[in-house]
Amino acid sequence: MELFESKFRDSMTSKVALLNRITHYIVNRKGKQMRPMFVFLTAKMLNNGKVNERTYRGASVIELIHTATLVHDDVVDESNKRRGFFSINALWKNKIAVLVGDYLLSKGLLLSIDNEDFDLLKIISVAVREMSEGELLQIEKARRLDITEDVYYDIIRQKTATLIAACCSLGACSVKPESADVETFRKFGELCGMAFQIKDDLFDYGAQQIGKPTGIDIKEQKMTLPLIYALNHCTKKEKSWAINSIKNHNKDKKRVKEVIAFVKDKGGLDYAVTKMLQYRDQALELLSTYPESDYKSALELMVNYVVDRKK
């Protein structure tokens, strides 16, 4: 990870001082770095503990693209904070934030093209397309509040799971191009990503204090699994009250608290936890066919961390 950090830093450099100042700010406020870890652990598990330059480039590309999407997300969401620090748009305004996101995206694509990693580039490009589609599908559905459970899974698969799927398939592809492992680990990453997003949705109901305030999804009219389940398992009267609350009273703190209590009461949280654990178990099952190693154990720990994390 230390070597990756320096390579990642180098991959961002520019002749423009303003850009370097902003990318330096970004690098120094990094998050959990789960995504590069997925790349390295997958590659090491499949390649007797060894990684190559392609693996480092794959991890850098993923992190560049991921960072670009976060910078753009903060603009879209009009968010002033990211991981407890000011977001790029809060410090440098929207125009600069959008351009920085574009810059990071192009740096990621060029890193692959310059090294002729076209197989890695394809994996990344599919992920970017799916993430954009997932976000837009969510926005379209949020307007009408008519999301079914299946549509919800489609949204989170595209929005969140597709990037973790790309990490794992990149790791596999960097050391074993064109092998069946590339698809196996894409699926593995997708299952981890599904569990990861359901866990995030559960945080909105205030199990622990984390980076985002509770009830924020309700305020933003986002239909998440606990809420969808509750709406499907209540009376018509309760359903119209809940939908009216989310549509017209989502800024009313007392009303948001009542919606949270309603979802808990209808078993929405328990149902979401059950689904999350199913995805975790499917991911662990895919790993079970591979021989034991430190890297396999570490990947199993990562999968369990996804559902056990407190933030």
In a domain, 85, yes or no: yes
- Asked if the structure places residue 10 within a domain, the reply is yes
93: helix, strand or coil: helix
> Domain tally for the chain?
1
Cα–Cα dist 275/255, whole Å? 27
This prediction has a pTM of: 0.87
One-character DSSP codes across 231-258: HHTS-HHHHHHHHHHHHH-TT-HHHHHH
Blockwise average pLDDT, block size 10, the chain, 311 residues: 83 85 78 86 93 91 87 79 76 86 90 92 92 87 80 92 95 93 96 94 70 68 88 92 87 86 92 95 94 94 89 68
Q: What's the residue count for the chain?
A: 311
Q: Is residue 97 assigned to a domain?
A: yes
Exposed/middle/buried for 84, CB within 10 Å: 0-12, 13-18, 19+? Answer: exposed
Any domain includes 68: yes
107, 149 Cβ separation under 8 angstroms? no
Using CA atoms, how far apart are residues 237 and 253, in angstroms rounded to an integer? Answer: 21
Q: Is residue 293 part of a domain?
A: no
Whether 9 is covered by a domain: the verdict is yes
Domain that holds residue 135: 1-177
Residue 27, token pair as written in the block? 């690098």
- Is 265 a domain residue? no
pLDDT, tens digit, 9 for 90 and up, residues 17-54: 888 888 888 777 766 788 899 999 999 999 989 999 99
- The span from the CA of 106 to the CA of 121, in Å, is 12
Which CATH number fits the domain that encloses residue 1?
1.10.600.10
